[in-house]
């Protein structure tokens, strides 16, 4: 079981090594409602602004919190064979074991546009505020949703040999197999400043990095 801690806008969720959860913070939208106490065998958890998604070991998902954009609509509880989940501000992604995706919630910037249905061979996903990034098994990426700050502007470059992806609100970061990174999108606070070009030998965290 992978222990982890994830954060929404004003709430946090901790996944414990027994597959149960703890949640604390703002509860105005029930994002810390005690319903999460009934979940067991959780293996991955993700947070949006005021909703959370939990992936269970049987490949099904649970969610709780605000539902103003259907990000917690019960119809999505029918998903099976899910292996990973990610949350944007008001949308969520589920990655299935066949490399396909399901997306639900807000779609004001096409972050849940059916274009994602054309993707296959996906092995990792990440969500920003209103955009999403998918990593394929051939080391390439796909990005869709808001592009007002070039957070999805891939037209002038082709990335390969990517092994992990992550998103901030309006920027994205790629980790390459040689331990280097690329960043694109909003840079108003230097979150994509070229200083990152000096980083090498970056690794994906595992349990050894989790506070005991």
What is the per-residue pLDDT across 157-181, written as a single tens digit (0 to 9) for each? Answer: 678 999 999 999 999 999 999 988 8
Strands of 141-145's sheet in order across: 122-127, 131-136, 141-145
Are 146 and 51 within one domain?
Answer: no
Work out how many domains the chain is built from and give that number: 2
What was the pLDDT predicted at 211? 41
Residue 209 within any structural domain of the chain:
no
Are 144 and 74 within one domain?
Answer: no
Please report where in the chains the tokens 């539902």 appear, as a residue.
67
Question: Residue 84 pLDDT > 70, yes or no?
Answer: yes
Are 129 and 179 within one domain?
Answer: yes
Give 115-156 pLDDT, tens digit per residue. 888 888 999 999 999 999 999 999 999 999 999 999 987 655
Contact 159, 174 (CB under 8 A): yes
Mean pLDDT across the chain = 89
3-state secondary structure (DSSP) of residue 48: coil
* Average pLDDT, integer, range 50-63: 94
What is the domain range of residue 170? 108-204
| Of 90, 106, 122, the domain-final residue | 106
Q: What is the DSSP string of 51-73?
A: EEEEEETTS-EEEEE--TTSTT-
Question: Residue 209 pLDDT > 70, yes or no?
Answer: no
* Average pLDDT, integer, range 13-27: 94
| Of 43, 78, 106, the domain-final residue | 106
| Of 106, 121, 154, the domain-final residue | 106
What was the pLDDT predicted at 73? 84
Residue 210 within any structural domain of the chain:
no
Question: Residue 212 pLDDT > 50, yes or no?
Answer: no
Are 71 and 129 within one domain?
Answer: no
Residue 212 within any structural domain of the chain:
no
What was the pLDDT predicted at 1? 55
Contact 163, 139 (CB under 8 A): yes
Please report where in the chains the tokens 């506070």 appear, as a residue.
211
Instruction: Please state the pTM of the whole predicted model.
Output: 0.90
Tokens in use for 49? 């602004």
Question: Residue 89 pLDDT > 90, yes or no?
Answer: yes
């Amino acid at each position: 079981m992978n222990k982890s801690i994830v954060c929404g806008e004003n709430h946090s969720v901790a996944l414990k090594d027994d597959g149960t959860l703890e949640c604390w913070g703002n509860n105005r939208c029930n994002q810390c409602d005690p319903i999460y106490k009934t979940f067991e065998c959780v293996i991955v958890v993700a947070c949006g602004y005021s909703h959370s998604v939990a992936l269970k070991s049987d490949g099904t998902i649970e969610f709780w919190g605000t539902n103003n954009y259907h990000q917690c609509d019960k119809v999505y509880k029918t998903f099976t064979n899910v292996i990973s989940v990610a949350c944007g501000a008001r949308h969520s992604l589920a990655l299935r074991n066949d490399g396909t995706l399901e997306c639900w919630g807000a779609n004001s910037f096409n972050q849940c546009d059916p274009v994602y249905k054309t993707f296959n061979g996906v092995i990792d996903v990440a969500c920003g505020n209103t955009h999403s990034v998918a990593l394929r098994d051939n080391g390439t990426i796909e990005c869709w949703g808001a592009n007002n700050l070039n957070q999805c502007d891939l037209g002038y470059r082709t990335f390969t040999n990517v092994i992990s992806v992550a998103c901030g609100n309006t920027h994205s970061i790629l980790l390459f197999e040689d331990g280097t990174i690329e960043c694109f999108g909003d840079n108003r606070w230097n979150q994509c400043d070229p200083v990152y070009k000096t980083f090498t030998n970056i690794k994906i965290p595992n349990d050894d990095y989790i506070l005991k």
